[in-house]
Amino acid sequence: MQKEILLITNYFPPEKGAASNRMFSLAEGLANAGFKVKVVCPLPNYPTGKIFKDYKRKIYLAENVSFGKITRLWVWSSNSANKFFRLLSMFSFSISLVFFFIFTKTSKKIFIQYSPVFVGFTAVCLGRLFSKKIILNISDLWPLAGLEMGILKKGWYYSLLVKMERYCYRHSDLIVGQSNEILQHISNFEKEKPFFLYRNIPNFEAPAITIQKSSKEIKIVYAGLLGVAQGIFEICQRLTFPENVSFHIYGAGPEVEKIKVFQKQNIHFYGELERDTLHQELQEYDIVFIPLIKRIYGSVPSKIFEYTRLGLPVLYFAGGEGGDIVEKESLGWVVPVNDFKALQDFINTISTTGLESFPKEVVQKNSISAFDFQKQFEAFTVSINNV
């Protein structure tokens, strides 16, 4: 009898981003490992907060795909900065999940993407109510991450989110985390739970390094979410790029409108590209920039694993475990988080010294050697089978 598993996630293709890519790779990997995979997610709307054109005026959509089946549920979509509207959006998908569980026969094992908290909490409650084996995936430590970013403040609402967080940990059968810091945090409350460290390692064939540098210009690129946590707009405002150093930006998110109209020497904005097209474009650059405005405990940006596989050395400006990985595996340079003087000094220095310390071929080789998707996934499926 074929094994079955249900993946519950707030993000899934055609949406872009780390969570979406991770869940898609997970679904494909599980199907290849012999699982019958079903995915339940909202109608696609991230990061614009608007239902994508091909999915408008629908409340439910079932799709048969190569790895199994996707069920997309109604959501009141929003990317508003207003906390009430964001909460309403999360709550709407939670309500859709309730109806899904009531009217749909679901697999014995369910894999839940915990964030956002309300969605993860609802899914865990439903899993427990319907006697499911729960595999909980933690990619960010909410609500702690929200507190560290200044999005949340301590009070009754924060306390409520903490109680929901602990409930999810307590009633899970396997806890999967994307960093050692995440698993360490959870072990403070659930010492006896089985854990699995699941890095956001991408599953694509590494391209050959063929592009030869034809000019002395050093091209730094950022590609990803343009949100408050990444702080790209503030970085553009505060940094000055020498004549032979340029900064190139790809992506979408809350800060996109401000970045679009911002004008400064050697800063260029291109918008959002499909992942495969973006990978092609990125190979023309010299350094990939990975910033966070504040060090967020537990956060390890997936861009480290994805873009070094393309051969791009990393300029890491986010603090925490991610910086340790970059240094340990010799993937690029680490600048202390939020130290704009040190960041400006680095940019000024490379404008005169160049990039010889981290050749693309070496970075790609180090990345492939350190981050093996198949090896990690085989160990992961063993953990799932033991649940």
Domains defined for the chain, CATH in brackets: 3-201+372-385 (3.40.50.2000), 218-370 (3.40.50.2000)
- Give the pLDDT confidence of 144-176 residue by residue, as tens digits: 888 887 778 899 989 999 999 999 999 999 999
Contact residues for 172 (Cβ-Cβ < 8 A; gap 6+): 112, 124, 134, 135, 136, 193
- pLDDT at residue 54, rounded to an integer: 86
Q: For the chain, which residues score pLDDT lower than 70?
A: 1-2, 79-85, 211-214
In DSSP terms, 269 is beta-bridged to 249
- pLDDT at residue 149, rounded to an integer: 77
Quote the distance between the C-alpha of residue 96 and its chain's center: 24
Contact residues for 316 (Cβ-Cβ < 8 A; gap 6+): 290, 304, 322, 323, 326, 332, 333, 334, 335
Residue 153 gets the label, from left (phi > 0), alpha (psi -120 to 50) or beta, of: beta
| Dihedral in degrees, nearest 10, Cα atoms 271, 277, 281, 282 | 90
Backbone angles phi, psi at 233, to 5 degrees: -65, -45
- pLDDT at residue 301, rounded to an integer: 92
- pLDDT at residue 216, rounded to an integer: 83
Output the pTM of the full model: 0.86
